Structure 1
Amino acid sequence: MSARRALLTGASGFIGSRLAQRLLDDGWEVHLVLRPDSAGDALPAAGPRLHLHRHDGSTTQLVEIMRAAAPQAVFHLASLFLAQHQVTDVERLVQANLLFGTQLAEAMAQCGVRLLVNTSTAWEHYEDGDYNPVCLYAATKHAFSALLRYYVECHGLRVATLKLFDTYGPGDTRPKALNLLKRIANEGSSLAMSPGEQLIDLVYIDDVLDAFLQAWQLLANGGQAAAMAEYGVSSGAPLALRALAELYSQASGKPLNIEWGGRPYRPREVMVPWTRYQTVPGWQPKVTLAEGLARFHHG
């Protein structure tokens, strides 16, 4: 029996690289779509079931890649994340989060590929709104979902969109709060932070990968009733940044020198995460925060 085939975007990022490795470990043949300038440091080691495709930016070439890969599953994780954008960022945000995704959906439609696990963000739902984007990045992710509706209705795509909360794990070098805490713990330095009352919802990387695979399994088995569904990938137990810092101090065994209130909250700071989401049926997080923080610190 031949291996299942997946096409994956965003494999140069933290979550995408881990998902690519997980798929390989599970026996999949994996096709990665990368920009010509994407770094290969985080990619899985070369092997007979791993195929790299450098996308030249055109829709026609992406159709050729899709046809060659002939995947049973497409996992779309590529994006440009900017918590706050500058004027010069607008073109990059639209290209990465709208144009490329639309090219991907078009390639699927042209090649008869139907099952897509898409990635978005809980930041589409500021102050628990049905749609209230925290930033332009979140607005572009929502706009892509609107574009996907065309491919669902007219070309038979079936889409599960995972809206991620905060994610973390060993080897994560993204400029997030946990890495700031790790740095001052290891260096013994100090850090000015906001007052720290915002709630953080952290999901460990292994649980995030489980959610992606469970979402695909639902699509493949017909277990997702709607052709287009959205799921929140949440720990279900957010906690204040101050409390997170205390837990991290315990996990690392080191004191943290933090000046709480030393910097203001950023514009549209998410104080309380989105709550009105549906969880991926059959999925729940398994790694406790204490266990995950210990792995993160030592990883």
Structure 2
Amino acid sequence: MIGASGFIGGNLFRALLARREDVIGTVFSGSPWRLAGVSALNTAFMNLHDPNSVRALLNRVKPKVIFHCAAFGAYSFENDADRIHHTNYISLVKLLESLDHRELNAFIHAGSSSEYGFNAAGPAEDDRLSPNSHYAVSKAAASLALAYHGKARGLPVCNLRLYSVYGPYEDSSRLMPVLCEHAVRGCLPPFAPANTARDFVYIDDVIEAFLLAAAHMGPDLAGESFNIGTGEKTTLGNLAALAGKVFDIQEEPRFTPSAGRSWDMEQWYANPAKAERLLGWRPRTPLAQGLISCRDWWREHLRHAQFQELTKKTHARKSKNSLTAIIACYRDEEAIPIMHERLVAVFNKIGVEYEIIFVDDCSPDNGRERIREISAADPHVLGISHSRNFGSQAAFRSGMELASKEACVLLDGDLQDPPEIIEQFVEKWRQGADVVYGRRVKREMPFWLDLCYKGFYRIFAMLSEVAIPKDAGDFSLIDRSVMQWILQCEERDFFLRGIRAYVGFNQVGVDYVRPERMFGRSTNNWIRNIGWAKKAIFSFSRTPLHMLTFLGGLAFAGSVGLALASVIIRLLAPESTPKGMTFLSLLIMLFGSATLLGLGLLGEYLGKVFEEAKARPPFIRKHFIMHGRIKPADARPIQARDDQ
């Protein structure tokens, strides 16, 4: 469901979710208010303007049916011509090209009656298109592209030319929401000229048209366009009179000649005969019934929302204004509620849209239940439970695959990564950084242990073939564009802070003091820390192999030199030649230990190759936790990685 945060897409998305679970709605720049209460499992970020973003999501989801409702320019205040054409036409063509060799059952596109432009009075689908605005041109071009891909290239695509759709979740700047909001207050709004005619079709009927088009898709429908309207011409004078009657409002309606969009036509209504003949579709909701349903929905919705806030006109969504927090949890039962409380406080303070993903990495405590309790009270919270302990790196990756916001923030669940630092991360991000990492200038631990950590980072920086920031852990903010490339790195032995540096982009650090663990004891020990050091070095450095080669060459040169020296001494001073077993024993021990060291280093690299060659999944999800419920993860295989 492309464009799930829009009016048409949001209603269709909810209707699909009511029928089945394997539905994914894409979000990009739309307001999230229409998706309130929808699980993050069912949403995914996709930027239609970015081929990498589109390809990554198609590869992960492998959709059989696509409903495309993303558009720009339908509102009079959306007048960026370049964005109109890129969103409505150019990105659509690129998307269709990317679908050419995929298994697809149906692709249903939300077109517009604006395609007819000047020819707006009851046209048939094969009548001349005469667009009269940039928006109309882009949608007309899109319908022709769909016709080409359907008729000439056999893609199962069709185009629904929607007329004046109204219903729940419509932008509050539009006529019908304004009318319903005034009706709740017992009055009528000003209307455009009374003789202006429109074809009002209720959203439930439009949803039925989308579903019928997908169900009936076949060679006969491929590339076709269908008018989706009632075929009834309703003037605004008639609408005002009907509204006064059904809402019992005695006020005389007022009509304003200057209202409306510059490209609006006076007579604008559908000829839906083709949709009825080929799809079996006909509108079922009379205008009076639709008005009452719409008014009742707005009355209920406005109990907890401000009408003026529900429009893109005056509250356009800011870029870089949404975050996904991903928390890797192991033995963090007591810290989880505090982490949630502090994260929510930070997100509310900086005013960003957010979701919080807790990843329970098969913790032996009651962390999963804590996550369930929090998710019951906060719909922004999603939980993932792994089948066993795969480690924090796998936990972060598991969460990143489900993140749907513009950037993600990675934190350890033990509160050693202070959530309050996120405010500084966001500031740097909005200034142009693609990655903002936390730099541990000091750790609340014994001096000698802190010195060991600092020493490792400096040694690692010298050995690594990639510039690795010193004293930087996993705590970081990662922009969506960077996250997509990180997820394309398929290492099973995943070392996130190294991969993060490897992909590049604009990266900056923020200094902070890393506190002690708030509850319990750390699961890290010297053996684990040595393992982390080996993972880092052998994943991002071939220097040990170069050193081994150098030592081998040095030993060979030394052996040749020693042999020559022995011969010369034997010839010149026979009595001075070394005697006995001591000298031979030392040489054997030297070369034996060097051989074992070399075999060990080679074994480490071969072990990593062996792990990658087995291609086992880096993690296995056992449960999803949302809205206070724990669901088996196998109910949602569509969200798994390709190799799971």
TM-score calculated relative to the size of structure 1:
0.85
CA distance change for structure 1 residues 215 and 13 in 2, over 3 Å: closer, same or farther?
Answer: same
Superposition map of 1:17-166 within 5 A? 17-35=10-28, 37-43=29-35, 45-47=37-39, 50-55=42-47, 57-84=49-76, 89-113=80-104, 115-125=106-116, 126-127=118-119, 128=121, 130-152=128-150, 155-166=153-164
Closer, same or farther in 2 for the Cα pair 1:294/1:74, shift >3 Å? Answer: same
Q: Which amino acid aligns with 1:279?
A: A
Cα distance in 2 for partners of 1:190, 1:288 equals 20
Question: Does the CA contact (< 8 Å) of 1:117 and 1:212 recur in 2?
Answer: yes
Residues 165-196 of structure 1, C-alpha deviations (whole Å, 9 max, x = no match): 01111343342222232344344667543321
Tell me the secondary structure at the aligned position of residue 23 of structure 2. Answer: strand
Aligned pairs, how many? 287
Describe the shift of the 1:263–1:193 C-alpha distance in structure 2 as closer, same or farther (beyond 3 A). Answer: farther
Compared CA separation, residues 147 and 158, structure 1 to 2 (3 A): same
Equivalents in 2 of 1:214, 1:158: separation in Å? 14
Which residue of the partner structure matches residue 263 of structure 1? 258
Determine if contact 2:46/2:53 at 8 Å carries over to the other structure.
Answer: no
Q: 1:51 Cα shift?
A: 3.8
Partner AA of 1:131 in structure 2: L
Q: CA deviation at 1:256?
A: 4.1
| Structure 1 residue 95: Cα displacement | 1.9
2:271 equivalent to 1:279: no
Q: Equivalent residue for 2:234?
A: 239
Alpha carbons of structure 1 residues 198 and 262: separation in structure 2 relative to 1, 3 Å: closer
Contact 1:192/1:262 (<8 A) preserved? no
| Structure 2 contact 76–261 (Cα < 8 Å) conserved | no
CA deviations on 1:237-287 (whole Å, 9 max, x unpaired) are 221111111111222222345332453665443222244552252111111
- Is the 1:192–1:263 contact (alpha carbons within 8 Å) kept by the matching residues of 2? no
CA contact (8 A) 1:29 1:49 kept: no
CA distance in 2 between counterparts of 1:13 and 1:118 reads 14
Q: Distance in 1 between matches of 2:280 and 2:193?
A: 37
1:34 maps to amino acid: V
Specify every segment of 5 or more residues in structure 2 that has no aligned partner in the other structure, as ranges.
122-126, 298-644
Question: Which residue is 1:227 aligned to?
Answer: 222
Q: 1:195 to 1:41 in 2, by over 3 A?
A: closer
Which whole-Å CA distance do the structure 2 matches of 1:216 and 1:152 have between them? 14
Identity percentage over the alignment?
24
* Distance 1:18-1:59 versus aligned 2 partners, 3 A rule: same
Paired residues of 1:193 and 1:263 also in contact (CA < 8 A): no
Q: What amino acid does structure 2 have at the position aligned with 1:78?
A: A
Unaligned runs of 5+ in 1: 1-7
Q: Distance in 2 between matches of 1:100 and 1:49?
A: 25
Correspondence for 2:428:
none
What CA distance in whole angstroms lies between the structure 2 residues aligned with 1:56 and 1:136? Answer: 19
For 1:137, give the aligned amino acid.
Answer: Y
Q: Secondary structure at the match of 1:228?
A: coil
1:163 aligned partner, one-letter code: R
- Per the TM alignment, residue 93 of structure 1 is displaced from its structure 2 partner at its CA by 0.5
Secondary structure of 2:96's counterpart equals helix
The one-letter amino acid of 1:123's match is S
Distance 2:164 2:113 in 1: 9
Q: Retained in 1: the 8 A contact 2:110–2:160?
A: yes
CA distance in 2, matches of 1:288, 1:276: 17
Give the counterpart letter for 2:81 in structure 1.
Answer: V
What CA deviation, in whole Å up to 9, does each residue of 1:127-181 have, x standing for no partner? 3462011421111011122333443356431211100001111343342222232
Could you report, residue by residue, the CA deviation over 1:1-41 in whole angstroms, capped at 9, with x for unpaired residues?
xxxxxxx1111111111111111111151122221x43322
* Contact 1:251-1:297 at 8 Å conserved across structures: no
Tell me the amino acid that sits aligned with residue 238 of structure 1.
K
Return the match for 1:200 from 182, 198, 201: 198
Is 1:13 aligned to residue 6 of structure 2? Answer: yes
- 1:86-130 residue CA offsets vs partner (Å, 9 max, x unmatched): 8x6111111211232123212322434352101111121133462
Could you say which structure has the higher helix fraction? Answer: 2
- The farther-off stretch of 225-234 and 208-217 is 225-234
Report the structure number with the largest CA radius of gyration. 2
Q: CA deviation at 1:291?
A: 0.9
Query: Cα distance, 1:63 vs. partner?
Result: 1.6
Distance 1:199 1:98 in 2: 28
| Contact 1:85–1:136 (Cα < 8 Å) also in 2 | no
Aligned partner of residue 106 in structure 1, secondary structure: helix
Letter in 1 for 2:17: L
Deviates further, 100-109 or 156-165:
100-109
Contact kept? 2:158, 2:225, Cα under 8 Å: yes
Bigger RCO of structures 1 and 2 (CA < 8 A, at least 6 apart): 1
CA contact (8 A) 2:64 2:103 kept: no
Q: Which amino acid aligns with 2:180?
A: K
Q: Secondary structure at the match of 2:14?
A: helix
- Assess if the C-alpha contact under 8 Å between 2:34 and 2:169 holds in 1: no
Structure 1 Cα separation of the partners of residues 163 and 128 of structure 2: 16
Residue matched to 1:4: none
Structure 1 residues 266 and 105, CA gap change in structure 2 (3 angstroms):
closer
Quote the residue 1:298 is aligned against: 296
Q: Is the 8 A contact 1:164 1:232 kept in 2?
A: yes
Counterpart code for 2:288: A
